[in-house]
Every structure is written in C-alpha cells, then in structure tokens.
Amino acid sequence: MTAAQQAIADGATETKWDEQGLSWKLPAGWKKTEVKKQTFNYSGPDNAFFGVNISEMSSDFPMDSSRQAELDQALEQIKSGHYSKARMLEIDGIPGVEFMEGPPEEKDGIRRYQWIGYRNYLGQNEMVNVMLSTSKANFDKHSDDFPAIMYSMKSTK
C-alpha cells in the first residue's frame, strides 16, 4: 500500500465475514447492503460498491492454470484498451490477479477495480472475486480507498 492507502486502512473499521473467514477494513460511510453465505456487499459514498462473491470449485479444479488464464486474459484486455492495469497479486496468502478497467465510453458508465483469487478454505476449493466499482465520474475520487480496502483483506488460515 502507498502511504495514503495505509492511512485510509489504519483509520478504517474492520468488517468481518465470519462465514468465509475473511475481513476488510472499510472507511467511514460504508454500509452493509447484503451478506449471505457466498455474497458480501457494501455500498459507500459516491454510489461506490464493494462486493465479494465466493464460487465453490471441484476438488480437481486447476487453480494455478486458471489464475494464469485470468492474468493472460486481463493482459489482452489492456492491449484492447478495456483494462488499464493487470498483475498477479497475493493478498494475505491467497494468490490472485488484480485488474482495473479503463474508463468506460459512456459518460455515466461504471468502472471496476477487481481481484480474483483462488484458495482452499475448510477443504473446499474456491474462487474469491472481490470487486469495487463506481461511476466513471467518481472513480478517481476512490483511487486510494479502493486499493486500501482490497489490500486490507485478511483470511483465516
């Protein structure tokens, strides 16, 4: 995290998803909208959205090659201008791929910042899909708090 992102995380409140053994630090103003077994949704200022989805995978699901395929696809999306950033990123021991959409063509279009990781939790292979989004007009206002939220993720080992 950058110094600005760390300051946001340091001043934020830990929000736990006990059922999935995950938590994040959310800045003031973020409110729970829906939390279920495989879905964790909060909304924030400027119509910002924080959502996490868990997808259960089979025991023989190829997590490493799927992660590489996610990265390869994201890098191709950079070439076409759809994404502005993509890289492998491990967050609290869970390897994954971080990527950010480029600005949408539509004036009021939605722009997304996402991380997809693969883990084994309680004997179950899972894909963890973390997404933060807001309108094109408000996206730059969240250039520090979106990564601060994402990078603050903690996972029960």
Residue 59's pLDDT is: 93
The pLDDT tens digits for 98-138 are 999 999 988 889 999 999 999 999 999 999 999 999 999 99
Homologous superfamily of domain range 3-22+31-155: Mog1/PsbP, alpha/beta/alpha sandwich (3.40.1000.10)
User: CA 124, CA 134: separation in Å to the nearest integer?
Assistant: 32
Q: What is the pLDDT along the chain (157 residues), one digit of tens a residue?
A: 889 998 989 989 999 999 999 999 999 999 999 999 999 999 998 899 999 999 999 999 999 999 999 999 999 999 999 999 999 999 999 999 999 999 998 888 999 999 999 999 999 999 999 999 999 999 999 999 999 999 999 998 7
How confident is the model at residue 147, as a pLDDT?
A: 95
Strand partners, 155: 22
- Going by their DSSP bridges, the two strands 31-35 and 39-44 should be labelled as antiparallel
**70-73: long-range pairs with CB below 8 Å, 24+:** 70/96, 70/97, 70/116, 71/97
